Amino acid sequence: MADVETVRGPIPLEALGTTLMHEHVFVLSEEIRENYPDSWDEEARVNDAIQKLRKMKAAGVDTIVDPTVIGLGRYIPRIVRVNAGVDINIIVATGIYTFNDLPQFFHFQGPGTLFGGEEPMIAMFLRDIREGIAGTSVKAAFLKCAIDHQGLTRGVERALRAVGSAAKETGVPVTVHTNVRNRSGLVVQKLLREEGVDLAKVVIGHSGDSTDLDYLTALLEAGSYLGMDRFGIDTLLPFEARVATVAELCRRGHARQLVLSHDASCYIDWFPVAIEATLPNWHFTHIHDDVLPALRERGVSDDDIRTMLVENPKRYFAKAG
């Protein structure tokens, strides 16, 4: 049986169990945090994360897939500490998260830049996948990048093509943050196809923000998974619309290409307010507490639910070939 890399080392695919395909342990602005550490308490945050993830485990979740990459404050030693306190599988990623420019680090190296040369991101991604991340033994098991309302900027295109290149070379799957308003999932599919990536190994993230069945069907027909992965962010799309869209796609026989998640985090430093008050459902047990009962009420079978939460993640992480 093939293995998949996790924070605690490789595990058999069968051990993934119920898997939420897009959750963050921490989303942090690391350079800000290091220089303005006033509001950060390392022990308190780690312990809080352990408590939240234990609660999630108790609700029935075995594994989270954490697409926190460069640009979102990835720091693996902290994730290792958290995972030591809670019996779940955490799968981590490599990649770059930007909506427009790349970090300055990349501006003068790589194709089309002053010093040219190979795309440096590719070697970084390959090292995270093959050798481990930053001297830890933790290996990335998937690739992540983003495209949002700015569309295909030069920086976004470089990141997307570098992710595609590393995916083609290693066979590890890909998750891309997309924006449904400009249907950028279609742009992702076009570029990744050009880079030789198997679109059946791609999650078009945040597709669940859309109720546009024509758009979603086009993405499905190209073979990718749809990330119905922001349950609880009801300001972007209300609960009812999210549930109804998943139920309709299941009714049409697409459960094999849907994955479920919240895109929640134990802690995110982006918001000046207590986000729990603004988005009371944006937490790790909303799917088990509220979404699954609502899907069942709308006729979604237990089989389809198992397909979305267990079988699809397993197939996504199964090695190609």
Residues near Zn ion, by CB under 5 A: 263
Residue given tokens 């981590």 in the structure block: 92
What lies within 8 Å, CB to CB, of 236 at 6+ separation is: 209, 230
Query: What minimum distance in Å lies between the beta carbon of 263 and Zn ion?
Result: 4
Question: How many Cβ atoms are within 10 Å of 295's Cβ, its own excluded?
Answer: 22
Nearest to Zn ion of 27, 255 (CB atom): 27
Nearest to Zn ion of 128, 263 (CB atom): 263
Nearest to Zn ion of 72, 192 (CB atom): 72
Residue given tokens 């190209």 in the structure block: 222
Query: What minimum distance in Å lies between the beta carbon of 227 and Zn ion?
Result: 9
Alpha helices in 171-233 (DSSP H): 184-194, 213-221
Dig out the tokens for 152 from the structure. 């295909």
Question: How many Cβ atoms are within 10 Å of 181's Cβ, its own excluded?
Answer: 12
Nearest to Zn ion of 13, 275 (CB atom): 275
Query: What minimum distance in Å lies between the beta carbon of 262 and Zn ion?
Result: 9
Q: How far is residue 60's CA from residue 53's CA, in Å, rounded to a whole number?
A: 11
Q: How far is residue 191's CA from residue 97's CA, in Å, rounded to a whole number?
A: 17
Q: How far is residue 121's CA from residue 247's CA, in Å, rounded to a whole number?
A: 39
Query: What minimum distance in Å lies between the beta carbon of 25 and Zn ion?
Result: 11
Nearest to Zn ion of 241, 268 (CB atom): 268
CB 166 within 8 A of CB 174: no
Residue burial 223-239, b: 16+ Cβ < 10 Å; e: rest: ebbbbbbbbbbbebbeb
Q: Is 139 helix (H, G, I), strand (E, B) or coil?
A: coil
Nearest to Zn ion of 35, 235 (CB atom): 235
CB 249 within 8 A of CB 226: yes
Q: How far is residue 316's CA from residue 286's CA, in Å, rounded to a whole number?
A: 23
Query: What minimum distance in Å lies between the beta carbon of 150 and Zn ion?
Result: 17
Query: What minimum distance in Å lies between the beta carbon of 11 and Zn ion?
Result: 23
Nearest to Zn ion of 27, 309 (CB atom): 27
Q: Using CB positions, name the residue nearest to Zn ion.
A: 263
Query: What minimum distance in Å lies between the beta carbon of 67 and Zn ion?
Result: 6
